[in-house]
Amino acid sequence: MAREGRPFACLTAYDATTARWLERAGVHVLLVGDTAAEMILGFQRTIDMPLPIALALTAAVKRGAPDTLVMGDMPFMSYQADESEAIVNAGRFLTEGLADCVKIEADASFAPLIAKMARAGIPICGHVGSKPQRAALSGGYGSAGRTPKEAAQIVDDAVALEKAGCVLLLVEAVPPEVTDSIMKATTVPLIGIGAGTACHGQVLVFQDLCGLTDEPPRFAQRSADLGNQIQRAGEDWVRRVTERNIGGESYVMQQPQVATTVKPQPAPKT
Ligand code: KIV
């Protein structure tokens, strides 16, 4: 699609049921992001995402959407500490997690690791721009690349990651000018989130798109109001239970079996 200039749509998904509906909707890529730490597990930070749960959720999404490209997101400390461990963990996303590709938040210093992952046969998406796993160092979640120096650094990172073997790039929360520069400087498909419209593909967190988050980021425009719908469904259920009017169909007692007499058969003639 990127080659043909057709924008592709990517959304996060963290469970099989949602993935099934998003596949039916024609969403092209499902990202099992480490935002699951916040959206599914209730943490305040993406760095709290446990690797075994990330693997299990990724496999669940692929089972729900077997015909959609599924990207697993490597959690904090699953690839930063040790190269061999990082390669093994990335491989686990393909085997246990059933992922089609794996995303890591990276700058140019990760190029040697990405080259080794690519050599091992793992398709990697390099995530540049704002990198939430580094929020403790960068002063919190937010935008990136808003000074000429930072912008140039992000473009250099993207170029280095493509050279190292990334088959996809993702850029988060940068001004559109930075995206334009990455688009000019790289050739692999670029997915954007809060990065303007020029990218080959666009991703949003499912809960932000569907009106399930209380404070979505400034770039996330809602397409649905599921939060209020869920609340109304919950309220309706509380009312029906209170009124002993739960609806649906009851099970019916089985009728007693009618006894049948079996006539003795004459013995066959020999
Ligand atoms: O974890 C995630 O959901 C992401 C997106 C915000 C791009 O990395």
Q: Where are the domains of the chain?
A: 8-230
Compute, in angstroms, the gap from residue 35 CA to the centroid of ligand 1: 6
* Four-way CATH pick for 8-230: 1.25.60.10, 3.20.20.60, 1.10.10.10, 3.30.565.10: 3.20.20.60
37 within ligand 1 shell (Cβ under 6 A): no
Q: What is the pLDDT of residue 262?
A: 60
Sequential DSSP letters for 86-137: HHHHHHHHHHTS--SEEEEE--GGGHHHHHHHHHTT--EEEEEES-GGGHHH
Query: 88 is written with which tokens?
Result: 């093994």
The finding on whether 33 has its CB within 6 A of some atom of ligand 1 is: yes
Q: Residue 26 C-alpha to ligand 1 middle, in angstroms?
A: 20
Are 221 and 204 a contacting pair, CB within 8 Å? no
Six token digits for residue 160? 């280095």
Q: What atom of ligand 1 comes closest to residue 172's alpha carbon?
A: 7
Q: Which residues are catalytic?
A: 172
pLDDT of amino acid 263: 66
208 lines ligand 1 (CB under 6 A): no
159-197: b (≥16 Cβ within 10 Å) or e: bbbbebbbebbbbbbbbeebbebbbeebebbbbbbbbbe
Which is the closest atom of ligand 1 to the Cα of 103?
8
Q: Are the C-beta atoms of residues 114 and 79 closer than 8 Å to each other?
A: no
d(CA 184, CA 199) in angstroms, rounded, equals 11
pLDDT tens for each residue of 243-262: 999 999 999 999 988 766 66
Which two tokens mark 203? 């991703």
Does residue 159 surpass a pLDDT of 70? yes
57: tokens are 């959720």
pLDDT per position as a tens digit, 61-91: 999 999 999 999 999 999 999 999 999 999 9
Which of 10, 12, 127, 134 best tests ligand 1's pocket when mutated (most atoms within 8 Å of CB)? Answer: 12
